[in-house]
Structure 1
């Protein structure tokens, strides 16, 4: 048996391909390679005449990764005295490589070389900008003689280096003149707008607060600060009123039970039974709304005909 019989003829999609294949969902009973081969050659199926991947076997197109220019930059840096980074980087190196995480889909050595090249290019760019700024400062201070037309234009520039940090409202004031500024207030530790005074200017909730706003259900049509301020003021006033009235100490006057209770008495008259008592309590199943102790006090009154609640 020849090997050609065992191989799937071209063209076909490789098993594992997750792209679109026309009419594949409606065909069953064959392997993926054989089925896609039949679908690609079926003249009754509408499909594109171009391949999914471009065929580069017929031309001399070739992509080199990393480019020669990047390799030259990395090698030049190594020759200048940077022995840490060199090409090729060994796979498995666990140290830090600048810009290597931005290169995706490449081998370790290619990603390291391209990341290092980009990093070295940015370093040279910033170094050139710093030298240009220093040269401009020397030209304007007279420490460097202008040699070209560009140098002479830098001398006549209205912006002299080094630039001074001056605030807009202090343009006419000398830089060395002391300016008195109000002292900063210390931050308020443990500050809560819920329980602060109603005349406090900071009694409001910050914009974007997603928690509950007490007394805020009846307010609408206002911006965040006045809306939360009025709601918190109502909450504080209501809270303080309840503290002064409802939460005041309450004294309960009850008749004291007798000091001695007969051991043979099952239903005492002056006190209730202990919670968890499993015996019979007359009339208990017909009453509700009281605790077991209050309801079972003098339970025999139902047997005497006293049905008062």
Structure 2
């Protein structure tokens, strides 16, 4: 007798006879769904499932071939091809999304899936038919023609110009920036949400004040940006060459200066100002550290 792994082994009847199970009895340990099993107590699992199997065999006949749940068209449910997602005979335990499944109650998983898939496919096909019908209707109507070159439009505009010489023909001027919007406008209005301009007034008044204040600030900043930059320097700085700009001052560096100071990390026990004043880059009186280094190099013994 070949093993079960290679397609052989005992048949279902032989294994049932070997275990001594009655007809309809589930093997103890079976964790699948068994109707009404949770309402039975006091007997073994085998006896309860045997009685339930006999009861259900008399009360509920087997489903006929080609059985389809109520409300489901058999032709609507596609067969599984390995790529399609929604098919008939959905396996319980599938955790993916099934359209409208959350609104179905009282049926088995298979029946609920079949009904939902049928409704989904029917609705989808109906919308596709409506879309195609709308496209066909749109194509059947003639296309709109531009009226810019229509002589009738030209004559009407000339007539309007003759009868209304003072009014502009088109809206040539844009709306003023400081003109408040109509009540109900939900867009952003500057300077009325975080200042006193938006308190204690009507919408028209507050929006006008906010827009005028914002316009004044904008014009002020624009005027400041247009002014030329004036740099006042002393005579000693003007006479210095372009490379002579001291970064490390003779008076020392200000505390909390986060820049780099050479040899600073090797000094301890003094304040930040005393430490920086004692460094070579700060204690010299030259225009820059390069001049100081050249002087020290020239004065060094050969």
Compute the TM-score of the two structures, normalised by the length of structure 1: 0.31
Task: State the TM-score, normalizing by the size of structure 2.
Answer: 0.32
Question: More helix per residue: 1 or 2?
Answer: 2
